[in-house]
Amino acid sequence: MSLLNSLLNLRPTFRHGVHPDPLKEQTVDLPVQRVPFVSRYVMPLGQHIGVPAKPVVKKGDTVARGQMIAEPGAFMSTALHSPVTGRVVGIEPHRYTDGSFKPAIEIEADPYATQQFQPRPPIDWESLSMDGFIAEVQKAGIVGMGGAAFPAHVKYAIPEGQKISNLLINGAECEPYLTTDHRLMVERPESVVRGAEIIRRKLGAEKATIGVEDNKPDAIEILSRTIGNEPIEVVGLPMKYPQGAEKMLIKATYGIEIPAGQLPRDCGIVVNNVGTAVAVAEWFDLGRPLMERVVTVSGPGIHYPANLTVPLGTPIREVLKFCGGLSENTREVISGGPMMGAPIASLDVPVLKGTSGILAFTAAETGRPHEYPCIHCGRCLEACPYFLNPSRFARLAKARLFDEMNALNVSDCVECGACTYSCPSGIPIVQHIRTAKNNLRQQHKRASG
């Protein structure tokens, strides 16, 4: 082993994981563009983890861009805002990304409106109580922008007696193809740093850290230059998947392992995506709610890859049309990254708060490998960053022994897909686990009435 490799191995990281090809070349150097406004938008009420939002508008109402159209349905919920100035034409079920139909607000854009958002006076966040700050973040509709869409304000509700020492901003973006976070860090470093500082100070954290994989040297350099005298540091991390999973990022950045069953806040840490930090800065400085997001459109089936600012509710079909449409040999379009994303049921489903990418793949990428029996090689165990036994989960899932999986802590699985990626037998392990977890959720739902 060379001296260089020896030194690299001493750098902080987490154990296990895999190393897929980053495949970011198509979009990594493309500045973010704004996709043109379209005629109709669909805003599902449940596009975040938790309780769906409740409409505060009705059919026929005129709405302005940035106006709240649905209020939080509970604490574990968040608001929705109109992505355009227009008219509400319906509140009824629409097709969701997974093929199901869920309640949504449909808005027809005003063809004569400029669709310019008018900034509002800054909010004096420093004078807000912590409860007031949490309420503002919930009102802004801000969620985790890495893809999970977990309501951001819930992370800031720290139980009494707990203290937050570190705020960790997730700029790893370890999913192949995706470059949304990268472009935000390069093009809008001031907003990343501003949002991080607002969150850090309200949480009472001593410092903030921005963790960035070292295949983004320009982002590391620009952020480091932008920080100035703030108690924020940028940490370069070796490339590894799933570094973007918050527990893995914490281990790689601080060397702290979050025990099973505990949350990062139990160890004095709060983790936010860089897009979430930008959204916080925009709300408190400009009054701009979360009504649009940056999306990477890429993959072999895309004619013109791009990083785009897309109003929420825009049909994916319209986004693809802006990028020249799909190639004739496209076989699958997924929302998110190739490791954790999911195929979409229709090109007419909308862009959501958690839509980090739209990727189009041809038969060469989507061909299912022939599945062979498990050879008990242990590669999935070596790949799993949570030290679970994926092959055992797969066997139990096939036998529909879901309760046994629950007893073996299947809930600790974050469905990163590292097990499936590493399996030489072509077993779709993570798909079996997802099916089992969904069955367990349905069982729990029926049991609770």
Annotated binding site for [4Fe-4S] cluster: 374, 377, 380, 384, 413, 416, 419, 423
147: CB partners within 8 A, 6+ apart: 336, 337, 340, 341, 354, 356
- What is the separation of C-alpha 420 from the centre of its chain, rounded to a whole number of angstroms? 21
Residue that the structure tokens 């049909």 belong to: 315
Size of the chain, expressed as the number of residues it contains: 449
Using DSSP's 3-state secondary structure scheme, residue 101 falls into: strand
Residue 100 CA: distances (Å) to CA of 93, 147, 320, 445: 9, 19, 22, 17
Outline where 304-407 has alpha helix (H).
Answer: 316-322, 363-366, 379-383, 390-398, 402-407
Question: 146-171 as b/e, with b when 16 or more CB fall inside 10 Å?
Answer: bbbbbbbbbbbebeeeeebebbbbbb
Cis upstream peptide for 242 (omega within 30°)? yes
Return d(Cα 26, Cα 235) in angstroms, integer: 25
User: Please, is 440 exposed, middle or buried when counting C-beta atoms within 10 Å of its C-beta (0-12, 13-18, 19+)?
Assistant: middle
Q: Name beta bridge partners: 103.
A: 93
Tokens found for residue 22: 């980053």
Q: What secondary structure letter does DSSP report for 397?
A: H
Residue numbers in the known binding site are: 374, 377, 380, 384, 413, 416, 419, 423
Residue 432 CA: distances (Å) to CA of 198, 343, 369, 375, 436: 41, 16, 15, 17, 6
Using DSSP's 3-state secondary structure scheme, residue 103 falls into: strand
Instruction: Tell me the HSE value of 350 on the side-chain side, using a 13 A CA sphere.
Output: 31
Instruction: Tell me the HSE value of 409 on the side-chain side, using a 13 A CA sphere.
Output: 10
Return d(Cα 200, Cα 383) in angstroms, integer: 33
Question: At residue 141, what is the residue type?
Answer: G
